[in-house]
A and B are shown apart, each in its own frame.
Chain A
Amino acid sequence: MFKLLLTWRYLKTRFIALASIISVTLGVATLIVVNSVMSGFSNEMTSKLHGILSDVELVASGMGEIDRVDEKVEQIKSLLQDDLEAVTTVVRVPAMLNFLVHGQPRYHQIMLIGIDDQTFGDVTDFRPYLTNHFHRNGDVFRLMELGYDKELPDAGWPYRREKFRHDAYIRQELESMLQDRAKGLPPIAQNQLPVPHSPSATTDSNQEPLVNIAKLPPLPTQKPVLPTLSSDVPAGAGSEYLSDCGPSLNPSESNTWNPAPVDALAAYRERVLVAPFDPITEQRVGIIIGIGIGRLRAHDPTTGTSQNMYFIRPGDDIELTIPSAGNQPRPLLENCTVVDFYSSKMHDYDSAFAFMPLSHLQKMRGMIDPATGGATVSAIQIKLKPEANLNSARDRLRAAFPMMQYPLMVQTWRDQQAPLLSAVEMEITILNILLFMIIAVAGFGILATFFMIVVEKTKDIGILKSLGAPSSGVMSIFLGYGLSLGIVGAGAGTLIGVMFVVYINEIAALISMISGREVFDPSIYFFSSIPTLLDPMMVVAVAGGAMLIAILSSVLPALRAARLAPVEALRYE
């Protein structure tokens, strides 16, 4: 009984106990918050990585290609049976993308991915990352009239029409000027020349258009201006003629590799012969580029805010340089129309990926065997059912496609991202060790505090012993003291830590409001809010560890108290 009473009284009357409790509390709260945020980040990141990558991938080793694709897909389907959710094929090729900014070319090295827009979205999280919400279910490679991000309200067809009309107007003006000059009329002053339209000239989309379209002369085209291409370009068939209409593509070369069906070819000839490519009403082959390629994010350190600068918008045309397939690749040039941005908020992907139709890329690069009509791909991507075992599926596929026989590798998304995942894991481990040292510091604080209290209480210990208190009882006063500090400190720390994690976004907003600086800028990170993952086991382990440390650090002082000889203790003044 005396143990409880004295432990309680010592707790109540010692200010220093409060300091120990606070240090344990802070340690526990920090550990819980950091752990939750770290695992939240890594969880979000891996799920994002997982979403972008497919579960399992059969990838051609090196820059090689996988042939007899249909055969292999059938084999995969029969092999995985019920575990299989979806399968798609992709072509991946490094490419160079360039476009003009202020009249200067801007180059980007990218990874061009040819995708089958019917199945690719089933295997990976592709559609949700497109900025135009009409593209989230529908033909992703068609330029849209509406539905683009609110930062770019006029992107898509309205922008394209305005831009190319303006260009046409400029060209017309220049031509008439040249004609006037040829006729001997006085030259126009330099500053009266119309300014060429550049998309990067306006960062503010609300700005007045440079050219008043209403004042423009009638366009030199016989075709009506249509809001969409649906009547002009049948889906899928558009790519054949569009690529050929590109000004930089060699028509003779395209004839050699283009094994388009006869009717499509006829349509192409008709189009080329009847009417030239009209950029105001027609789009070239669609390309979806990572948003990091077309946009520069300017962060102003003085105000703590960021602003987006667009070099390029949906509706602009860009030029691609792609290596052709085969052992001696030649550069191929292709003009494409940017139809959308891909914004996964994973910077590595957003600044390096561009997507275009698989069939088009295969034709362009000469990946279609003229004899059989079968096309090669660079990877077969597989999505498994959620309950399927990733590694066993991989091992079954590896057994079916041994590396000795097939020039391809079977990898899960974890295998592909192993360096990143293990780096994140190691980061969490090291951080945990460091943070546990914080709690250990609190533990040493308790140790020092307890030694002080034991020294201070030496006389009381003598008194208790003189009244017949056993050594074990005296010891348990101090052990109980340590345990109470641990329980109170860890309890309060758990409470504070969990509350902090639960309300972390509100807290971040509050800090932003007070400091006037954005603590968490969602556009910089992958996520719109600070992700957290509260693992109950982690909370229990942290709180339990803190209590253990508190008890362990009270053992030494408690032992010392128990060993005090009563006579010595009483003599102590």
Chain B
Amino acid sequence: MKAKLVHDQVSRGTANPAHENHDVISHAPFRSPKNHSNGSVILSAHQIYKAYQAGSQQVPVLTGVSLQVRQGQFTTIVGQSGSGKSTLLHLLGTLDRPDKGEIVMNKQRIDNLPARQRDRIRNQDIGLIFQFYHLLPELNVLENTLVPYMIHYGVWNYLLQRRRLHDRAKELLEQVGLSHRLTHRPNQLSGGERQRTAIARALITQPKLLLADEPTGNLDARSGNEVLELLRQLSEHQALTVIMVTHDERIAQQSDQIIRLRDGKVVASTAEAA
């Protein structure tokens, strides 16, 4: 019962006063790096170029980035701010299209698909978490979690499956420790709770890939640790492939693969080196 396990650990995490310590991460190792080189490649990027238009000038952000992520791997992308790590994540998450290069997911090229199919991939196969949570303020926690389903199903199909989908959402929210917050609006939640809602939302369609853009960047250390632990549990027990952008070196050290970006180029990729 993986779900149960995650839930127990999260609950324990919130209840344990030891976690009040602000330096939690150093005491509780986030994750022991392990070799996933035998897993199949779920996502790969080849020579990606991306530039933004700033006035009349072209500002290159990514200049030939290549990477490979294997099934079940926990990958971190680190780099200085402005190194293009968020842009890279957006490209991988089909939120944007590269100027040049290819992104392949499950042996299918996804960067040049029509918008409709990319919408579908984003809805079904990729979960996204952001630094600023990005919940919809008009909807409560349960509804926010259900938004991907609402997008996926038409009105009629959704209403037919309403009970099943709601049960799934409630189960997931229980896993992330928010079963007591179902009808709260985002503005009534703490940062950590909001991020956990966002995680539940990202996972509701059971994607293979979870992309996180500095999920702890806006949280205090304790909430951040809870979120990281949750992600670790998910990655470990549900074989979820996680790609996380961070600038916290300690988090990066505990991941399976670290991709270091500087000035739009990969300067080091630990997993491939190992």
Residues of chain A whose beta carbon lies under 8 Å from any beta carbon of chain B: 1-2, 4-6, 9-10, 13, 459-460, 462-471, 473, 565-567, 570, 573
Contact = CB atoms under 8 A, between A and B. Distances in A.
5 contacts: A1-B155, A467-B201, A468-B123, A468-B124, A570-B134
A465 B93 CA distance: 11
B115 A470 contact: yes
Contacts of A5: 139, 143, 150
B147 A466 contact: no
Given A2-B147, A467-B123, A566 B136 contact: no
A529 B15 CA distance: 79
A1 B124 contact: no
Which of A2, A9, A471, A565 has the most chain B CB within a 10 Å cutoff? Answer: A2
Task: Identify whether the interface residues of B are mostly helix, strand, loop, or mixed.
Answer: helix
B96 interface: yes
Judged by DSSP, the binding face of A is: helix
Contacts of B36: none
Size category of the B interface is: 20 to 34
B5 interface: no
A459 B134 CA distance: 8
Given A1-B153, A1-B154, A467 B143 contact: no
A466 B93 CA distance: 8
Contacts of B96: 565-567
B122 A468 contact: yes
Contact of A570 (B130, B135, B139): B130
Interface string B201-221: 100000000000000000000
A10 B138 contact: yes
B134 A468 contact: no
A1 B155 CA distance: 4
Nearest to A467: B148
Interface in B84-113: 90, 93, 95-96
Nearest to B143: A5
B151 interface: yes
Contacts of B147: 2, 464, 467
B122 A1 contact: no
4 interchain residue pairs of minimum CB distance? A468-B123, A2-B150, A1-B150, A9-B138
A567 B116 contact: no
Contacts of A2: 147, 150-151
Contacts of B173: none
A391 B205 CA distance: 74
A443 to B, nearest CB: 25
B37 to A, nearest CB: 31
A459 B136 CA distance: 9
B117 to A, nearest CB: 10
Contacts of A565: 96
A257 to B, nearest CB: 92
Contacts of A462: 134
A12 to B, nearest CB: 8
Contacts of A1: 149-151, 153-155, 158-159
Contacts of A469: 119, 123, 151
Residue among B116, B128, B201 having the largest count of chain A Cβ atoms under 10 Å: B128
B166 interface: no
